[in-house]
Homo-oligomer: A and B are copies of this chain.
Amino acid sequence: MLLLADPARYAESRRSELHAVADRLLDGRQFVLGGMVKEFELAFASFIGTEHCVTVASGTDAIEIALRALGCEGKEVLVVANAGGYSTISCLAIGATPIFVDIEKSSLLVSVSSLIDLVSEQTGAIVITHLFGLAVDCAEIDKLVRVKLGRSVPIVEDCAQAHGAKVGKIRVGAQAMIACFSFYPTKNLGALGDGGAITTNDDALAERVIHLRQYGWTQRYFQGVSGGRNSRLDELQAGFLTVFLRDLDERNDKRRKIVKKYVENGASVVQGGFANSEKYVAHLAVCTVKDRDILINKFDEAGISTGVHYPYLDSEFATTQHLVKQLLPNSWTARDKIVTLPCFPEMTSEEIGLVCSTISQCQQHFETT
């Protein structure tokens, strides 16, 4: 069965380097926040183009800590409802109220008009998710917010699915006030376990994040900042990520080429029109389809895994229903029409060919692009 993502293939190709990282850990003798974390933070900040990178234990922790660093406790935070729940969980963890923004039909990314409609004096932050690998232009959103409110509202970029994507020459993660990354294994840049990071150009925010990721300590054992937790990236994962970062742009290119072939064979990949653009890093090949169950079944018969990203909206749980103020028509429509096809850089040309021929055979089940 062809998996949706198979990070073990890439890891396998780096086996000897991973053993070298393990040796570096033992030789370095510092197992928490040591030299390999520092080295990766410098390398990743340099890659993204920010002054600071502070690693944490996961992408969800990154959003939670970024929102805390911005002082969003008790405030409203704008989020989309179709991004798997991570931003909403982070809001709820700090006592902020997620306000659900609808999405664009075409890209499944945040609807800027819905967002501008909902932004208000109560908004503590706006989480912008570069969903499925396509970068949202945060500068444009900031401009429109300033027109409405006469001031900016902090934007938190959620880059968990878009490592390396660019708006113009600027990478996601360097577009707004603060940005969050996940290094979950299947991500474009993935560790071999959980991991996350926050990037920012703001010195004071970076310092707050450094305190918050370690108990709110302003010095060892002294809780100078409230809301701190334990959220640290492992040395080993940092070492692996430094190795993997070198190939990121090249592997993103391979992802785009796969999506391009899917589009050529008739798949309605929702962001497929960007397959030639660095704005897009093809994290997930999400398509819109007419009858999802039939299509999933056809692919299953062909030995191809499919997924749904995501089967639920953040706004439909018992824990969040009472917060819903909007109807979110586009989010609901998309929820039942999306299906994700395999897309990862280590797919063989045979596997890509198999997916393409299955797409061709299922032509009538895809939405017209």
Contacts and interface: CB of A to CB of B under 8 A. Distances in A.
Contact of A92 (B86, B226, B320): B226
Contact of A230 (B15, B194, B234): B194
Interface stretch (A25-33, A161-169, A286-294): A25-33
A58 B213 CA distance: 12
A192 interface: yes
Contacts of A230: 57-61, 194
Contact of A194 (B22, B23, B32, B84): B32
Contacts of A64: 229
Interface stretch (A217-225, A249-257, A356-364): A217-225
A193 interface: yes
A185 interface: yes
A97 to B, nearest CB: 14
B221 A32 contact: no
Contacts of A23: 15
A22 B19 contact: yes
A223 B319 contact: yes
A310 B31 contact: no
A85 B223 contact: yes
A237 B25 CA distance: 13
Interface stretch (A4-12, A99-107, A172-180): A4-12
Copies in the complex: 2
A85 B60 CA distance: 23
A133 interface: no
A318 to B, nearest CB: 8
A228 interface: yes
Contacts of A47: none
Nearest to A185: B31
B8 A194 contact: no
Given A221-B310, A235-B192, A8 B22 contact: no
Given A57-B194, A230-B194, A32 B184 contact: yes
A235 B19 CA distance: 15
A164 to B, nearest CB: 21
A311 B219 CA distance: 11
Interface in A144-171: none
Contacts of A226: 92, 318-319
A6 to B, nearest CB: 8
Contacts of A232: 193-194
Given A224-B317, A319-B223, A89 B31 contact: no
Interface of A: 6-8, 11-12, 15, 18-19, 22-23, 25-26, 29-32, 57-61, 64, 84-86, 89, 92-93, 95, 184-185, 191-194, 215-216, 221-224, 226-232, 234-237, 310-312, 317-320
Given A18-B22, A221-B311, 6 more contacts: A11-B26, A57-B231, A85-B215, A216-B319, A222-B311, A226-B319
6 contacts: A8-B30, A12-B26, A86-B215, A193-B235, A223-B320, A226-B319
Pick the 6 closest A-B CB pairs, nearest first. Answer: A193-B234, A8-B29, A226-B319, A31-B185, A60-B230, A58-B230
